[in-house]
Amino acid sequence: MNNSTKNRLTDKAFQYFGIFNTFLGLIMLAVFIFVILQVGLQRLDWDFLTSLPSRFPEKAGIYTALIGTFWMLLLTIIFSVTLGVSAGIYLEEYAKKGWFSKLLEINISNLVGVPSVIYGILGLAFFNRYLGLGGSLLAGSLTLSLLIIPVIIMTTRESLKAVPKTIKEGAYALGATRWQTIWKQLLPAASGSIVTGVILALARAIGEAAPLIVVGALVYVPFIPHTPMDDYTLLPIQIFNWTSRPQPEFQVNASAGIIVLLFLTFLLNGISIYLRNKWQKKVKW
């Protein structure tokens, strides 16, 4: 066998290996979704969405968890976007580039990789105990915000960096101040990809259970939260709870809950893809 046949064989082998792996992932996902749908769809109806939790599986619903998840999303958006985007703007546009900003940069990228349960422990110590927020929505959303702020900071910086320098120069050359340049040119031009990044970060956050178990999301909450200081439960927590029950009926409930959670996640991802495409069509540098 000469060299070129050998190379061609290697190439072919890798090609099939790649195809196999691609489909392996997709098939696993498809099987998972199929099973969940098969089990869960029978249970999924309006009553399931609007019923309070119960120890009788056929009566139990996800109303409190769903409302809790929406509350959590809203509060997390408020905290993480304000803090993350402004920190990103500061680091990209204001901070002097030097060893200090390098150090910050490295630390922020490291924070992205910190396991979420560590954030939970931090939230427990700081928000719940030290600030005395207890197991409230406020404490939970601040903890989740901590988890995704590094991602939002990085997204904001990358999006601002992607705006051509010539736009900035053009604005400055017309007598715009730095503030005007950032708010009227750079941010509008970068907002499409910032929003995309923020939504993807949120989609990850609403599926998180680990840090929120630590900071006190409750398994059984028989009422919906009315203020940020109320106790709460969330979809992932509710699902987690049901899957650990011995009765098979609760497994069915869990599957139905997973369908709702998957739907929310896909919805958020879909919105971000839509925005990204819409944006790419509008702006080409």
Partner 1 sequence: MNQLIAKNVNVWYGDNHAIQDVSMVIEPFQVTALIGPSGCGKSTFLRLFNRMNDYIDNFRMEGEILINETNIYDPSVNTESLRKKVGMVFQKPNPFPTSIYENVAFGMRIQGMNKKSELDEIVETSLKKAVLWDEVKDSLKKSAFSLSGGQQQRLCIARTLAVEPEVILMDEPASALDPISTSKLENLIFELKKSYTIVIVTHNMQQAGRISDQTAFFFMGKLIEYDSTKKMFLKPEHLQTQNYITGRFG
Footprint on this chain of partner 1 (rule: CB under 8 A): 97, 164, 166-167, 169-177, 180, 184-185, 188-189, 282-284
Q: How far is the CB of 103 from partner 1 (least distance, A)?
A: 18
Residue closer to partner 1 (CB basis): 89 or 171 = 171
The least CB distance from residue 96 to partner 1, in Å, is 9
Specify the residue, 16 or 99, whose C-beta has the smaller distance to partner 1.
Answer: 99
Whether the Cβ atoms of residue 34 and residue 21 lie closer than 8 Å to each other: no
Residues 163 and 190 sit within 8 Å (Cβ to Cβ) = yes
Shortest Å, Cβ 134 to partner 1: 47
Select 54 or 280, whichever has its Cβ closest to partner 1. 280
Q: Write down the least CB distance from residue 153 to partner 1, Å.
A: 22
Considering beta carbons, is residue 11 or 282 the nearer one to partner 1? 282
Q: How far is the CB of 114 from partner 1 (least distance, A)?
A: 32
Which has the closest alpha carbon to 68: 222, 204, 211, 200? 222
167 versus 271: smaller Cβ distance to partner 1 = 167
Nearer to partner 1, 21 or 280 (CB): 280
Question: In the complex, what is the shortest distance from the CB of residue 105 to partner 1, in angstroms, rounded to a whole number?
Answer: 16
